[in-house]
Structure 1
């Protein structure tokens, strides 16, 4: 498979290593203005975007217009998500966005939804989310923490939103910590006067994120439309 890397920071380099190990070829690494590249003249099977929020929308839609499916793990640009999906569909190509491509995290998402359903009518428990990442992570809270909160809100009628640290009674508080060399930890806690219930995902390296992104790229090749990591995970677990 011929891959274009959009963003060549630490995640881009990790994805490159995993992709090469799985027998793929990196045909271009774009860490600057994507419009200076003639994508439609390149032989590219899929693009993997781990760029920055300000560049993500242009990166992703430029690939769609060239008929290239995209895997994107860049957070902080989702105000333009629906427009990106429209452009994807107009150009009959494929798209997967995920706040986290780690297969372990996507299993964690499924556990989070199940636990939220079990806890929704237990008023004595209140829920909070904590996320810990390295100091170079630009956004806070993490996209993964927001996804966890959104899943809980869909199930729990008592929670109408989330807030970073200073949440109201009907919101989920998210505590974001930045510590050197922490790839990513997420904790969902339900607390009462009697006891606490927690689920935790701890990443030990970026390898899990990179491997999941490459597996998603392998899956999306030759597919059209908007898909999710749940679709990828379901195919792996069949």
Structure 2
């Protein structure tokens, strides 16, 4: 499989190493300053660029009939536009706030717990996420996905950074050192707390999941999620 990397930072370099180990070839590395891309050499694209670049990167891949995997966060106000464009062009696209296999299992666990807690009004829910100091967006896309999973199954209506409120999930976002990513969901009452937590030991799990998603999407048409990749639906 011939892979193009959009974004060649720490994550891009890790994806390159894992992809090569799995027998794939990196045929393009598109980063700041890259002006031309030869799409004729590309089987699939993986985007871990920046919020400012991701939207155009994804559209360019779709327009050139290249399946694209994106893990870039911070651009999702345009997500609906990308989905519509992908369907119109009969392209192939996967977005995930987190490609880690363990995190995607954690997403499912989070929704299952939310369903059980729905009618227990004595518990209030909050989220905490911790990432490295170079992470640009806050809260993380992973934390937002967790909050949306809770909202889908409870009476909570929205999330807010650092602001608890009626029918509102407070998300605490911390930036500490080189932390790869820690996410905690807590239901607290006057008598006890219920907590689920995912701790990444390094970024390799994120990179491996993106490569696995790229392997999976080849030859497919449509807009997919990691639930499809992992058959969790």
Q: How does 1:1-238 map to 2 (within 5 A)?
A: 1-32=1-32, 36-40=35-39, 42-157=40-155, 159-234=156-231
TM-score between both structures, scaled by the size of structure 1: 0.95
Contact persistence 1:39–1:66 (CA under 8 A): no
Which whole-Å CA distance do the structure 2 matches of 1:57 and 1:45 have between them? 19
Contact persistence 2:30–2:37 (CA under 8 A): no
Which whole-Å CA distance do the structure 2 matches of 1:39 and 1:48 have between them? 15
Contact persistence 1:128–1:172 (CA under 8 A): yes
Cα offset, 1:38, TM superposition: 3.9
Which whole-Å CA distance do the structure 1 matches of 2:60 and 2:44 have between them? 12
Cα offset, 1:43, TM superposition: 1.6
TM-score between both structures, scaled by the size of structure 2: 0.97
Bigger mean CA offset, 200-209 vs 165-174? 165-174
Which whole-Å CA distance do the structure 1 matches of 2:116 and 2:27 have between them? 47
Contact persistence 1:39–1:63 (CA under 8 A): no
Cα offset, 1:13, TM superposition: 0.6
Contact persistence 1:46–1:69 (CA under 8 A): yes
Which whole-Å CA distance do the structure 2 matches of 1:184 and 1:38 have between them? 32
Structure 1 vs Structure 2 CA RMSD:
1.3
Which whole-Å CA distance do the structure 1 matches of 2:65 and 2:153 have between them? 37
Cα offset, 1:202, TM superposition: 0.2
Which whole-Å CA distance do the structure 1 matches of 2:41 and 2:181 have between them? 34
The alignment covers a number of residue pairs equal to: 233
The answer for unaligned runs of 5 or more in structure 1 is none
Which whole-Å CA distance do the structure 2 matches of 1:39 and 1:70 have between them? 15
Cα offset, 1:33, TM superposition: 5.2
Which whole-Å CA distance do the structure 2 matches of 1:230 and 1:194 have between them? 35
Bigger mean CA offset, 161-170 vs 112-121? 161-170
Which whole-Å CA distance do the structure 2 matches of 1:8 and 1:118 have between them? 42
Q: Deviations over 1:118-154 (max 9, x none)?
A: 0000011100000000000000000000000011011
Which whole-Å CA distance do the structure 1 matches of 2:19 and 2:175 have between them? 29
Q: Deviations over 1:99-119 (max 9, x none)?
A: 000000000000000000000
The SS at the match of 2:208 is helix
The SS at the match of 1:155 is coil
